[in-house]
Structure 1
Amino acid sequence: MISAAEVKKRFLSQPQFAVVGASKDRTKWGTKILKWYIDRNKQVTPIHPREAELEGVPTAKSLSNLASPQETAVSIITAPPITIQLLKEAKSLSIPALWLQPGTFDDTVISFILENGMEDKAIYGGACILVEGDGIIKSML
């Protein structure tokens, strides 16, 4: 098993990113995280079932609509019952890395991660990417 620091580096070394949980509401954490990627010139796709674009970026309706899911790290900002469904979809698509932001997981979500061998792909239980992301990027230079 690889360390949490290595999983975070794997996450941020992907060529593409997706954010599930962004909306038109700029005060919400999902939208703040989407802006974090945009502000760092990262190739990011917001996932939203109804909006055509968020923050000027075209959306995908689901993870399965991503152009290259096997090369896309996904930030998740959803309630735990939705997070479980996203993890199932991510597993079937071979998504390489997932960052579950605070509040997106519970014991059921953690059990799913462990029972499905996803602990080397999923980041959970630590700080948000807004807190740790820049430091991780700097450590990779």
Structure 2
Amino acid sequence: MGKTANLIKDFFSSSHYAVVGASSVPSKYGNKVLKWYIANNRPVTPINPNETSIEGLQCVPNLYSLISNLNHTDVSVSVLTSPKITKAILEEANKLGIKKIWLQPGAEDTECQDYANQVGINLISNGPCVLVDGPKL
């Protein structure tokens, strides 16, 4: 099993999941990824500062709100934001002790990867998508 496959397996060992950049627009990947978690019976929270609920689930505005609601950090996070926003998400995750992050295609750049490597975040990036690679598990 390769490094990315191991990271994906570890990612799916969490007790809760979050989708940062979740969208209420069905054609957007932020909505498709959220629906994937729902369809696969994964406890998931959409994160979007501009929405109160998506797909019948209560939204929270950020990872801080998620962790205060869950009272634990055993969470894996899918990120569907622009790289500029992704870096701030990674910094917030690091401060909270969240170490399992999956940057969906388009959410990453080398700065994000370098930061994750520096702080020890188990980052899945550079290609795999939960919609394609998640079902393999």
So what's the TM-score if we normalise by structure 2? 0.91
> Which residue does the alignment assign to 1:135?
136
Instruction: Report the AA paired with residue 65 of structure 2.
Output: N
Q: Report SS of the residue matched to 1:70.
A: coil
Poorly superposed stretches of 4+, deviation over 6 Å: none
Q: Which residue of 1 aligns with 2:126?
A: 125
- Correspondence for 2:73: 70
Describe the superposition over 1:16-61 as per-residue Cα deviations: whole angstroms up to 9, x where unpaired.
Answer: 0000111111100011000000111110000011211001001111
Secondary structure in 2 matching 1:5: helix
d(CA) in 2 for partners of 1:88, 1:102: 19
- 1:99 aligned partner: 102
Q: Is the 8 A contact 1:11 1:96 kept in 2?
A: no
Matched, 1:110 2:128: no
Report which structure shows greater RCO (CA 8 Å, sep ≥6). 1
The residue type equivalent to 1:104 in the other structure is: A
Q: Equivalent residue for 1:79?
A: 82
Aligned residues: 133
Q: Gaps (5+ residues) in structure 1?
A: 137-141
3-state DSSP class of the match of 2:19?
Answer: strand
Q: CA deviation at 1:112?
A: 1.1
